[in-house]
């Protein structure tokens, strides 16, 4: 994180008094019956009330990694070929 990213703050929506600062925390979540911990996870933390909001981009990347289908190619259902459609009321042209 460079100096400019460190100085960025946003107002806290919870307490309306504090500022949210970007920090790196340990993120905890349950995956079925297993506790998963992720160190150095990006989050925004209020300096007054302590509210935490985890970085949405990092959460979506973590969700992809924890997906049971991660790394597998998607199953594709083959669609049967359909005959080309003709317009209603049109007749096939005949040679004269």
Query: Given pLDDT bands bounded at 50, 70 and 90, which one contains residue 58?
Result: very high
Residues 6 or more apart in contact with residue 45 via CB below 8 angstroms:
20, 21, 23, 25, 51, 52
Domain 3-66 part of CATH 3.30.1360.120? no
User: Above 60 in pLDDT, residue 17?
Assistant: yes
Look at residue 7 and tell me whether its pLDDT is greater than 90.
Answer: no
Number of residues written out for the chain: 96
The pTM of this model reads 0.61
**pLDDT at residue 78 above 80?**
no
Give the E-state strand segments of 1-96 in sequence order: 9-11, 19-31, 34-46, 52-54
């Amino acid at each position: 994180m460079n100096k400019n990213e460190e100085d960025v703050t946003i107002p806290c929506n919870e307490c309306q008094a504090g500022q949210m600062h970007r920090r790196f925390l340990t993120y905890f979540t349950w995956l079925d019956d297993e506790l998963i911990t992720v160190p150095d996870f990006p989050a925004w933390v209020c300096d007054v009330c302590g509210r935490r909001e985890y970085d949405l981009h990092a959460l979506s990347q973590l969700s992809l990694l924890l997906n049971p289908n991660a790394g597998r190619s998607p199953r594709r259902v083959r669609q049967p070929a359909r005959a080309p459609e003709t317009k209603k009321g049109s007749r096939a042209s005949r040679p004269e």
